[in-house]
């Protein structure tokens, strides 16, 4: 469920506080999606120089290498003075001189992977095929349109795949397509330049707004349990099947695309 906005909000919540810290120990719970790929000793003693994000991956930069962290669908990170023992769903602790970074992930679709550097096979296996950052400086219309022209699949599934543009998960894919007035089933290559531009704008708008909302609830981040932001967003179509479109009143529809639920307004969104 963490899509790009929640990952970014998570990053902002601890990046400054962990930067400059030295790793003191590593604790592991149950296996995650992949093995960490290094011995704890590799990490101990290393200084953390910063935390970046690429798509839905967090990158914890170390003196020698980096940790790639993914929250999967049910993961959350906390950072603080951790005194509690690891719980049932805590699967990774990075104890540092400035606090403990802890990954909690009931469904264990998440991952923590060590890579010696960003260009290494370990890192490129995860980052190599990722599309452009939608909130970055380089989400250009021309590139976006060129990429979509090569995709015959329905636009919703192209967005979800993350190879053209990263960070748009199941919820925001439906929301962005609603905002752009595009039917999710429309094949990517059939979108006109104007509609691609509307979609580009919609993706930026929806994601940026979600980061802001997440940020506004971030103040309670440490008190609450890490569920930030977007649950409070008022969805236009997501999970609203049968309810009235907020714009035109038509009943919102739910369909299934590639085993994923998709929601749209049959009136506002044109094929």
Partner DNA sequence: CACGGATCCTGATGGC
Partner DNA sequence: TGCCATCAGGATCCGT
Catalytic residues: 2-3, 56, 260
Site membership for DNA, residue 271 (CB under 7 A): no
Residues 75-114: x where in contact with DNA by CB under 7 A, - otherwise, as a string: -------------xx----------------xxxx-----
Nearest to 110 by CA among 129, 90, 130: 90
Size of the site for DNA (CB under 7 A): 40
Q: What are the φ/ψ torsions at residue 68 (nearest 5 degrees)?
A: -95, 125
Q: What is the CA radius of gyration of the chain?
A: 20
Site membership for DNA, residue 131 (CB under 7 A): no
What sign does the dihedral 211-15-222-42 (CA atoms) show?
positive
For residues 255 and 41, give the distance between their C-alpha atoms in angstroms, rounded to a whole number: 49
Q: Which of 52, 129, 146, 190 binds DNA (CB under 7 A)?
A: 129
3-state secondary structure of 54: strand
Distances (CA, A) of 131 to 101, 134, 247: 28, 9, 32
CB 114 within 8 A of CB 165: no
Q: Which of 76, 78, 170, 228 binds DNA (CB under 7 A)?
A: 170
Site membership for DNA, residue 55 (CB under 7 A): yes
Q: Which of 53, 102, 151, 213 binds DNA (CB under 7 A)?
A: 151
Site membership for DNA, residue 47 (CB under 7 A): no
In this complex, which beta carbon is closest to DNA, that of residue 156 or of residue 198?
156
Site membership for DNA, residue 183 (CB under 7 A): no
Site membership for DNA, residue 259 (CB under 7 A): yes
Q: Give least dist CB 21 to DNA, A.
A: 26
The binding site for DNA (CB under 7 A) comprises 1-3, 30, 33, 55-57, 70, 72-74, 88-89, 106-109, 125-126, 129, 150-154, 157-158, 160-162, 169-171, 188, 239, 258-261
């Amino acid at each position: 469920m963490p899509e790009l906005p929640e990952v970014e909000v998570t990053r902002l919540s601890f990046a400054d506080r962990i930067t400059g810290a030295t790793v003191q120990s590593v604790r592991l719970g149950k296996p995650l999606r992949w093995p960490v790929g290094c011995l704890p000793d590799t990490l101990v003693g290393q200084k953390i120089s910063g935390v970046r994000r690429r798509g839905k991956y967090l990158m914890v930069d170390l003196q020698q290498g980096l940790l790639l962290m993914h929250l999967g669908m049910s993961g959350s990170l906390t950072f603080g003075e951790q005194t509690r023992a690891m719980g049932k769903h805590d699967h990774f602790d990075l104890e540092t001189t400035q606090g403990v970074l802890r990954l909690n992930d009931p469904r264990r679709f998440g991952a923590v992977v060590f890579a010696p550097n960003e260009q290494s096979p370990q890192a490129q296996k995860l980052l190599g095929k990722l599309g452009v950052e939608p909130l970055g400086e380089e989400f250009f219309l021309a590139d976006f349109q060129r990429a979509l022209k090569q995709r015959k699949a329905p636009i919703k599934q192209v967005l979800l795949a993350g190879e053209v543009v990263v960070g748009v998960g199941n919820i925001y894919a439906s929301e962005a397509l609603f905002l752009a007035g595009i039917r999710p089933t429309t094949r990517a290559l059939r979108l006109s330049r104007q509609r691609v531009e509307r979609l580009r704008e919609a993706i930026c708008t929806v994601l940026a707004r979600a980061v802001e909302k997440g940020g506004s609830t971030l103040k309670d981040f440490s008190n609450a349990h890490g569920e930030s932001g977007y649950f409070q967003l008022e969805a236009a179509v997501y999970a609203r099947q049968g309810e009235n479109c907020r714009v035109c009143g038509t009943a919102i529809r739910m369909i299934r695309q590639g085993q994923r639920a998709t929601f749209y307004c049959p009136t506002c969104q044109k094929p």
